[in-house]
Every structure is written in structure tokens, then in C-alpha cells.
Amino acid sequence: MSNNIVIVGAGECGANAALALREFGYDGSVILVGNEPTAPYERPTLTKGISQLGRPTIDLRTLIERKVEVKLGTTATQIDPFRNVIVMDDGGAIEFERALLATGSSPRRLPSIPISKRVSYIRTLDDALNFWPRIKNGTKLAVLGAGLIGLEVAAVANTLGADVRVFEAATRIMRRSVPDEIAVALHDIHTKKGVSIHCGVGLAEVEERADCIRVHLEDYASFEAEFVLVAVGCVPSVELAKSAGIPIENGIAVNCFLQTSNPSIYAAGDCCSFPFPALAGRRVRLESWRSARELGIIAATNMLGGNRSVDIVPWFWSDQYEITLQVAGIHDDKHQIVRRDLSPDSFVVFGLDDEGRVAAASGIGPGTPRTIKIAERLISRAETISEHHLRNREIDLRRFL
């Protein structure tokens, strides 16, 4: 068997895993396979407008200097788990001793949406390059989905002068990501900027016409737009794992060491789900830039014989207009919610579990990053703090560290 480690997926997770293997002293062959023709880049830039597109994850020269063999524009189509071989779309095959699946995810498609030049999904650099040049002053844009991607695009499009309407099936924006108070504050910010947000509305049909596209809602209302952005979540890319007979459970099922049911194959990033200790072992799948990077490094550690379980605190950020949102941990509807006001336009919402431990924190406004950084450490240590101490901004939370 070849002394190869093959990484399928050249995004944030895969590229950092490849580099970590070298940093940890692995001197065998490392092959990084990416289905896009471009060097690894940061996906968060895709929703920030045309000026920020394509910022590299890791410079391609750095990977080459570290003797990582990079195969771009190539798709892995199948894994033969008996021979430890990955079959490529060009007919070639790569043997491996160990493999890491960092295949990421793809946008969730809606069957009621026609395939059209007026309908966009943003997941790749090409998607963004096709979308952003169309958004100008006066452009009528309908955004389907009020999650992170939908709202970031809405904010940038609004800044460019577009007439933006956002449609969300849930009763509020960012239903899966932040607690109610944060969602209300973000909703108000968008509304004051001129974005029209409609929550609790179902999509009936999207009808393409000669010069526009018409969005029909289940309540019989309709809205005419020049372009539609669909941002209703992502689906983990699991086809390669399925071909190897690996179980799927909201993504590629891995254990706390990111190892699949096949001991030679690992998975990391937003293609996989793993048991999360802070949620009593419930499986989670993380869809953030930093989590992808950190999980790739953990996978690299364990492929080299390490024994590091997933010990990260999930974290993500979002810039919408001049406002920064940061979230640490995973909010749960069962959490006790405690608000800490930092200033008239800045606050943090903590989520406490049944034992009173800090399990999550979300902050909005200019004063929040420092507090969220402290919250990350509180979450990682499972610290118990009273509601009084969390609410009182005169009390420095660092004392509990």
C-alpha cells in the first residue's frame, strides 16, 4: 500500500489539514484534491461583494513548498474501501494509506425554483463572480432565506443601492444561529437601512418571465425582481463517503476523533457530523470558517496517530453594514438567556445550560468582540456563573477565568 495521505476537498479544512500534516512532521506523500480549478480561497469573502473575492486560504506556493501535491479541477467520484483507492473523474485512481474527506457542502436547492440566469446560489468563486456584477443601484433583488448568507448579501446589495426584499419561512431571521434578542436587533438594523424582510412566509413558486422573475408566496402575495438569490441552507457533500459504505447522519458520521466507520478514512469540516460534548453527545455539523480550519488540524493530528477529540468552541462572525455579530458556542432553545448590556448599541446574550454553565454567547455591536473572546474561554472551561454576575457590566468576567 502506498504511503499516501489523500485529502479530498481543497477548501479551508483540507488545505489547513495538508499544511498541518507537514508541520507535525509527516514526510510521506500528501495529495490535496480540489474540484475547483482555483487555488484554495476563503468562502466568507463570497458574500462580501466583488472587491473581496478570492482571498487565499493558504498560498498555493506555500503548499507546493511543503511538498503537498495539489490536484485542482479534479473530482473524486468513488472510493474503493477494500483496496484503499480513490477513483477520479478523469479515469485515474489514487491509492491511500489514510484519507481525509473535506468535501464541504453545497447549497440546498428548491424544487420550485427554475434553472435560470436570474436565479443565483453563492457557494463558489464562480457563483460570486457571476452574481455581484449584476447588483447595482436600483436593482431589484429577492433573497430567499434570512440566515447568515442571505442577510450578508442583503446588506452588501443594499449598500450598493439595490432594492432588496428578504423572504424567510421561519418566524424570525437566523432561527438556527442566534437567540431572539440578537435576531430582533439585526432585523431592526436591516429595516432601518431599507431592506424589507418578510418572515413566516412560504414560497409557492418562482416564475420566470421575459424581463424579470416573479416570486409567488403561499399567502398569494407576489413580488417582482430582476434577480433572485437562494440562500436556504447547505447540504453536506456525502456522495464519496456513501460510495465507501460509510454511514451518513446529517453528514458523514464520524466519532469524536473525526474517524469514520472505516479506520483508514477521516472526515472534517461541514461535510461531517460528530458527537458534541456540550450538548450531551448530540451530533452536530458545523458550517463556519474557523471550525473548518480547526477540524482539519484535529483530523491531521489523529491521522498521524494522535488521540485528540473534538475540543473546539464553535465560533463565527458576520459583518452586516457597520455592525459586527459574533457567536461562540451553540445556542439551544432550552438555554436560560441572560443579557449583558455593554453600551447603548452593544450587548451580549449568554446561554446557560441546566447546570448554570455558560454554553453559548452572541454579541452585536462594536463592544462585543472582547466579551465574546472571554465567553469562549468560559465555555471551554464549562464555568458556572450567576445571572447577576453576567448581567452586571461593572463586573469583569475575566475574574472567573
Q: Which residues contact 331 (CB under 8 A, 6 or more apart)?
A: 177, 178, 179, 351, 360, 362
For 109-230, CATH number? 3.50.50.60
Q: How far apart are CA 36 and CA 70, in angstroms?
A: 12
SS3 per residue for the chain: CCCEEEEECCCHHHHHHHHHHHHCCCCCEEEEEECCCCCCECHHHHHCCHHHCCCECCCHHHHHHCCEEEEECCCEEEEECCCCEEEECCCCEEECCEEEECCCEEECCCCCCCCCCCEECCCCHHHHHHHHHHCCCCCEEEEECCCHHHHHHHHHHHHCCCEEEEEECCCCCCCCCCCHHHHHHHHHHHHHHCCEEEECCCEEEEEECCCCEEEEECCCCEEEECEEEECCCEEECCHHHHHCCCCECCCEECCCCCECCCCCEEECCCCEEEEEHHHCCEEECCCCHHHHHHHHHHHHHHHCCCCCCCCCCCEEEEEECCEEEEEEECCCCCCEEEEEEEECCEEEEEEECCCCEEEEEEEECCCHHHHHHHHHHHHHCCCECCHHHHHCCCCCHHHHC
CA proximity to 272, closest of 257, 290, 253: 253
Cβ 36 vs Cβ 76: under 8 Å: no
Predicted confidence (pLDDT) per residue in 147-203, tens digit: 999 999 999 999 999 999 999 999 999 999 999 999 999 999 999 999 999 999 998
Q: How confident is the model at residue 1 (pLDDT cuts 50, 70, 90)?
A: very low
- Distances from the Cα of 252 to the Cα of 123, 235, 245, 280, 316, angstroms: 20, 11, 11, 20, 22
Predicted confidence (pLDDT) per residue in 40-91, tens digit: 888 999 999 987 776 777 888 999 999 999 999 999 999 999 999 999 999 8
- Distances from the Cα of 107 to the Cα of 50, 149, 233, angstroms: 20, 11, 6
- Distances from the Cα of 305 to the Cα of 27, 98, 257, 264, 274, angstroms: 14, 11, 11, 11, 19
Judge whether 109-230 and 322-400 match in fold. Answer: no
Predicted confidence (pLDDT) per residue in 232-254, tens digit: 999 999 999 999 999 999 999 99
Cβ 134 vs Cβ 227: under 8 Å: yes
What are the φ/ψ torsions at residue 313 (nearest 5 degrees)? -100, 115
Q: Which residues contact 35 (CB under 8 A, 6 or more apart)?
A: 73, 74, 75, 76
- Look at residue 207 and tell me whether its pLDDT is greater than 80: yes
What pLDDT, on a 0 to 100 scale, did the predictor assign at position 2?
57
Q: In the chain, where are the structural domains located?
A: 4-106+234-303, 109-230, 322-400
Predicted confidence (pLDDT) per residue in 303-351, tens digit: 999 999 999 999 999 999 999 999 999 998 889 999 999 998 899 999 9
Per DSSP bridges, beta strands 358-364 and 68-72 are unpaired
For 4-106+234-303, CATH number? 3.50.50.60
For 322-400, CATH number? 3.30.390.30
Q: How far apart are CA 301 and CA 296, in angstroms?
A: 9
> What percent of the chain lies above the pLDDT cut of 90?
83
- Look at residue 379 and tell me whether its pLDDT is greater than 60: yes
Burial of 198 (0-12, 13-18, 19+ CB in 10 A): middle
Q: Which residue has the higher pLDDT, 302 or 115?
A: 302
State the residue for C-alpha cell 477565568: 401
